[in-house]
Amino acid sequence: MIDLHTHSLVSDGTDTPAELVAKAAQAGLTTVALTDHDTAAGWVEAAEAAQQHGIALVRGAELSTKHHGQSVHLLAYLYDPEHEELTSLLARVLDDRTPRLKAMVALMAEDGIDITWDAVAEFAEVGTTPGRPHIADALVARGVVGHRNEAFDRWLHNGSPYYVKHFSLETAEAVRLVREAGGVPVVAHPFAAKRGPLSAEAVRELAAAGMLGIEVDHRDHDDAARALAADLAAELDLIPTGSSDYHGTGKHNLLGENTTSPESLARIEAAATSKITVLR
């Protein structure tokens, strides 16, 4: 069982990288990818745990990008984390996340929602990638909502009046940089209804820019979305993947609930050209 999309406390998951890897092994996975948002900061800890638990590890990240102004999550596998241009742009994304969250908190507080930056900072400062889920965590801790999902549905979704953008890369530029860094770019959950799905044309444009894979099986894809993604994978010769997008207790997604075929993993490995290999 191969699960190629998970998050740890380094971004907006709730397990440490080591805990996540241990749980992946317990869940019967043979291979897990750690794909925290915009960072490789969990790789070393995850690698140690993977060796200890006898599970293969794909080191990756999920990059926050935009295509024609629309938010696109781009999974990047096996890239060189020392590639200067990619790393410096990701540092810019990370740097802009705190002022952006502060701006969202200020808008919410002005409107009478019971939230302060200090309350959010307790959650946002644990890892390296502060995000909206940490505002949600503060709201849950204060008893304002029962779960992260509720905070997103009410106030934190992309169309909310409290939504503030952070700096992000153009998706096509991110695709180019990930390839230059020897990695394999795969578009995450392209047709997730709540995020505002990409068009098939956008997927074609990204494939033309060098994108190599498409997440087909994902909780946020219904049957029609999965069929469209699989058709595009065939049409564009993209590597089809499936993943849980596990976030610990932050989402209901369970490790291994969607999986990737050994053939697709082999294609990802064959396409990677950096010194970062799948750890076995």
Candidates 6, 8, 9, 12: give the one binding Fe ion (CB under 5 A): 12
Q: Which DSSP category does 199 fall into?
A: P
CA 182 – CA 176 distance, rounded (Å): 10
Nearer to ligand AMP, 193 or 266 (CB): 193
Question: Binders of Fe ion: how many residues, by CB under 5 A?
Answer: 3
Nearer to Fe ion, 73 or 83 (CB): 73
Minimal distance, residue 51 CB to ligand AMP, in Å: 28
Nearer to ligand AMP, 87 or 98 (CB): 98
Query: At CA 127, angle to CA 104 and CA 4, rounded to 5?
Result: 100
Nearer to ligand AMP, 12 or 217 (CB): 12
Q: C-alpha dihedral over 211, 216, 218, 224, to 10 degrees? A: 130
The structure tokens listed for 99 are 């002022």
Q: Assess 73 for contact with Fe ion (CB under 5 A).
A: yes
Nearer to ligand AMP, 152 or 162 (CB): 152
Minimal distance, residue 11 CB to Zn ion, in Å: 8
Q: Dump the DSSP string for 54-84.
A: T-EEEEEEEEEEEETTEEEEEEEES--TT-H
Asked if residue 178 lies in contact with residue 185, where contact means CB atoms within 8 angstroms, the answer is yes
| Binding-site ranges for ligand AMP (CB under 6 A) | 12, 37, 64, 131-133, 148-149, 152, 247, 251
Which one of Zn ion, ligand AMP, Fe ion, none is in contact with 251 (Cβ closer than 5 to 8 A by kind)? Answer: ligand AMP
Candidates 33, 57, 78, 188: give the one binding Fe ion (CB under 5 A): 188
In 3-state terms the chain splits into helix, strand, coil percentages (rounded to 5) of 45, 20, 40
Minimal distance, residue 129 CB to ligand AMP, in Å: 7
Which one of Zn ion, ligand AMP, Fe ion, none is in contact with 248 (Cβ closer than 5 to 8 A by kind)? Answer: none
Q: Assess 3 for contact with Fe ion (CB under 5 A).
A: no
CA 101 – CA 121 distance, rounded (Å): 10
Nearer to Fe ion, 193 or 234 (CB): 193
Whose CB is nearest to Zn ion?
245
Residues 6+ apart with CB under 8 A from 69: none
Of the candidates 162, 160, 104, the residue with the CA atom closest to the CA atom of residue 131: 104
Residues that bind Fe ion (CB under 5 A): 12, 73, 188
